[in-house]
Amino acid sequence: MTRQEAPDTVAPEAGPVPGEATRRYLRALAERGPVSVDWSAAPPTHKRYPTAGRVVLPWRAPSPIGDLLRGLLGVTRAEWTHRTGVRLKRPAPSGGALYPIEAYVALGDPAGLYHYDPAHHALDLVRVGDHRTLLHASLTCPPAEVPDMVVVLTAVFWRNGFKYRDFAYRLHCQEVGVLGAQVLVVGESSGLDTAVHLRFDDAVCQSLLGLDPTREGVLAAFTCTSGAGAAAGPLPRSSATGEEHPPPSVVGRLPHLSALHAAAAAATGSGALPALPPVPAGPLVALPAPRALRLADGLPLRGSPEIGFLPREIDARDLATILAHASAGYPGDVPGCHRAPVTLTPHILVQRVRGVPAGAYRYDPDTGRLVATAGTGRVEAGPLQPNTREALPEASAILVPAGDQTAGIAGFGDRWYRLQQAEAGLVVHRGALAAAAAGLAARIHSDGTNPITDAALGLSDPVHGLSFLLLGVPRPGMTVTAPLR
């Protein structure tokens, strides 16, 4: 037997295979069974920092920072229903109303990096100094000038992870997309030029915030400028103030979430986009021209209905308006997103829309038409939660963004998962705001995304539904949602 020659050069140690964490995560979600919720493991509902450097934001006087943060995450609504009594709610939806997303804001005046405390509508100082320049430089596609403020969103993983386990990451990523849609509308109302950033140097942002990424991870940043220009200060060396009760690490608790977050944070891709599935060649349904409607008008009216819908027809023009807004481009850093969302395609199940035959369709944003898809079976046959089963037959239509969860790994590595889920959240929240502005109601039902729904929509592997938004006519007088100001 001949001994093998030792190689002249030692092969570099293989790094993690791009996409492996995503594939394992998707497999784990597909294989998970029912989970029992241990409510005694629930962590605090909100974060506290020492109040020494606190800036209390004005409740009534206009304040660009205060209005923006309150419009994103403030405690702004009282909802009164027969089923749940009176509950305080926030402006944008959150899975299970657990609100795992935190906001930090870098300002030039008063200079500092702050944590937004929604319960007290106040900013708590995390790090002294002007850190906008550093955050601006950490963005993959920074705006031309240093912005007036940079808002960084993080997810406290265990906040909803104790309930949803590894599935919580999907909610975290969708919720930053929801908040991306919300910030663009709130920012526009406040005269701010705002953009959504999903691609940045995670390590820089994470260490600036002084956070342990196994407990709380950075997921998005918003740049906001009023047009007045901003002075970039010197970079001070300062240490971050520690939070009062850090959340637990989820490495052992939520292994697939932890691995995917770490892989997405480290991902550096070429940024090349995969092609979206072509519009199928099915029967076409022309929709009327969308109404001229402002998403901002939906902000004070939006709320997820607790008790389903009135089983009534909606106007085809309202459907056209919702679809046009949901599929519109947005200012962000995913290549091509200024024209339209680029990681997914919008699908719609029509149940009760005047003039549109019931059935499954793909919406073509370029022509504003619906293209019938060859769906099989009924969504009702799927594994649905009781509230979804109740509301589904009453809904007028269901908006489902769909995409291939691995197609973008070649261009974006494991970051693709975040980008696509964020776009899914952005699309459904724009749909919900447009519905509210048109006098309709909408609710996300995540359990509606399953293989039975995919078949009913005519989707086939590797393309799957990413979210599931029921749209319909609200039941009057059953839910009172009062804005708190």
Ligand X SMILES: Cc1cc2nc3c(=O)[nH]c(=O)nc-3n(C[C@H](O)[C@H](O)[C@H](O)COP(=O)(O)O)c2cc1C
In this structure, what token pair is assigned to residue 173? Answer: 């990523």
Token reading at 472: 């319909």
The binding track of 421-440 with respect to ligand X, each residue x by CB under 6 A or -, is ----x---------------
Stretch that binds ligand X, among 89-97, 123-131, 325-333, 348-356 (CB under 6 A): 89-97
Check binding of 71 to ligand X (CB under 6 A): no
Question: Which one among 113, 400, 444, 459 touches ligand X, defined by CB under 6 A?
Answer: 444
User: Helix axis angle, 255-266 relative to 415-437, nearest 10°?
Assistant: 100
Interacting residue with ligand X among 69, 123, 178, 360 (CB under 6 A)? 178
Q: Who contacts 280 (Cβ-Cβ below 8 Å, separation ≥6)? A: 362, 371, 373, 374, 458
Q: For residues 447-476, which are near ligand X according to CB under 6 A?
A: 447
- When asked if residue 101 is in the footprint of ligand X (CB under 6 A), the reply is no
**Is the Cβ of residue 171 or residue 273 nearer to ligand X in the bound state?**
171
Total chain residues near ligand X (CB under 6 A): 19
Which of 53, 64, 96, 451 binds ligand X (CB under 6 A)? It is 96
Task: Using DSSP, state whether 138 is helix, strand or coil.
Answer: helix
- Cα-flanking dihedrals φ and ψ of residue 57, to 5°? -85, 150
Question: For ligand X, which residue of 76, 94, 190, 453 counts as binding (CB under 6 A)?
Answer: 94
Does residue 300 touch ligand X according to CB under 6 A? no
H or E segment to which residue 359 belongs: strand 359-364
Q: Which residues contact 442 (CB under 8 A, 6 or more apart)?
A: 302, 304, 399, 428, 431, 432, 435, 436, 469, 470, 471, 472
Query: Least distance in Å: CB of 250 to ligand X?
Result: 18
Cβ closest to ligand X, residue 187 vs residue 303: 303
* 304 in contact with ligand X (CB under 6 A): yes
User: Environment class of residue 452 by beta-carbon count within 10 Å: exposed (0-12), middle (13-18) or buried (19+)?
Assistant: middle
The piece of 125-133, 158-166, 172-180, 239-247 that touches ligand X (CB under 6 A) is: 172-180
Interacting stretch for ligand X, rule CB under 6 A, among 16-24, 169-177, 184-192, 209-217?
A: 169-177
The full 3-state SS of 184-205, as one line of letters, equals HHHHHHCCCEEEEECCECHHHH
Judged by CB under 6 A, the stretch of 234-242, 314-322, 339-347, 441-449 that binds ligand X is: 441-449
Decide if residue 303 touches ligand X (CB under 6 A).
Answer: yes
Question: Using the rule CB under 6 A, which residue among 42, 55, 75, 97 binds ligand X?
Answer: 97
Q: Nearer Cβ to ligand X, position 413 or 472?
A: 472
**Backbone angle region of 481, left / alpha / beta, with phi > 0 → left and psi within -120 to 50 → alpha:** beta
Exactly one of 345, 446, 450, 453 binds ligand X (CB under 6 A); that residue is 446
- Closest to 319 in 3D by CA, of 474, 471, 423, 466: 471
Using alpha carbons, select from 308, 432, 452 the residue that is nearest to residue 375.
452
How do 122-128 and 111-117 pair as beta strands?
Answer: antiparallel
- State which of positions 368-387 bind ligand X (CB under 6 A): 387
Residue 374, phi then psi, degrees to nearest 5: -85, 80
Q: List interacting residues with ligand X (CB under 6 A).
A: 89, 93-97, 171, 174-175, 178, 303-304, 387, 425, 443-447
